Amino acid sequence: MPKTYQPAGVGMTPSKTKLGKFIRVRRLELNLRQVPLSKLIGVGGNNIGMIETGKRKYLNDSQLVRLAKALQCDVEELRKRMPVKHIAQPNTELGKLIRSRREELGLTLKGFAKKMRMTPQQAKRLEVKKSPQITYYSLVTKLAKVLNLEPSALIRFVRGARKSTASELGLLIRNRRKELVMSISQLAGKLDVSRQYVNRVEFGQCSLSENDDMIERLAKVLKLDVNNLQAVRPIRKRMDTVNPLGEFLAAKRLELRLTQREIAERVDIHCNAVSRIERGWFHPNPNLLDKLAKVLDCQVPPELIPPPREHGNSHKPRGSGTRTFQ
């Protein structure tokens, strides 16, 4: 048997909105069914029914124009019956900054989303979300570029570390890293170390009190004066193996804010040699001691200079005595 249809409008849920009632009246006057009308305006088959019953309240401009044409009415008749769309307002400082800057640049939410390479829904969440913080440094860079802002204007919105640090050196590194919009992973990559190592440095678990090479690399990557890093790194803890001469030389070097590498270059020896002399693992010979005193602009007290008989212990292994460094 051929399929039969009820007359248009029979057995339908009552309309609950002004827009829905108007559409239904015009549709029935023109003897149009919901599904064919949906196809004419380019929406899903059940959307006209949802609009008429109030389950869907809004249509975009292009859909309104096509609907007006299908219903043979002025598009303004539809617009004035469509409820005013509530625009969610940002409730965080970050959201307010994004909204105001976006409007200053004449960017719609859709245009902003396209430049950010995200969906309009994601862009909306970014603008009106409850969280006042940015969790990824890459998002700072992208936002700064799209909104034509300096990254420094967004740094304050980056989520801080969950744990604070009592290390002055660690705090300086962390703050400078944030100023440069650099994540821990990015800094670790530039230093050629692990992410965990950078974490330990920032939390003061790795003081770098003896690692001059890492201090210099940090200064270069973070674009800091090496002296600023030297000034806040912890003073090397006294070691049982350090002798009075080594302590004296190390103290003079730190007073002058010189690294072990700089001392080594000036007296033409390996950097490790300076470290071993300061630790007391080697005694410098008189010639080298004179060079060190000249570079450190000091006079070594005679009582700190080992007696000549201690200079001949080069045959002893490290840890069993001292050795003369040539």
| DSSP conformation letters of 145-185 | HHTT--GGGTGGGBPPPSS----HHHHHHHHHHHHTT--HH
The answer to whether the CB of 261 falls within 8 A of the CB of 302 is no
pTM for the structure as a whole = 0.47
The answer to whether the CB of 248 falls within 8 A of the CB of 301 is yes
Domains defined along the chain, listed by start: 18-81 (1.10.260.40), 93-156 (1.10.260.40), 168-232 (1.10.260.40), 244-304 (1.10.260.40)
- Would you give per-residue pLDDT tens digits along the chain (326 residues)? 455 544 555 557 888 888 889 989 999 998 988 888 888 888 877 888 888 888 887 888 888 899 899 899 999 998 888 887 777 888 888 889 999 999 999 999 899 999 999 898 888 888 888 766 677 777 888 899 999 998 888 888 877 656 777 888 988 998 898 888 888 888 999 999 898 989 888 888 887 877 788 888 999 999 999 888 888 887 765 544 457 888 889 888 888 878 888 888 899 998 888 888 888 888 888 899 999 999 999 998 988 887 765 444 443 434 444 444 44
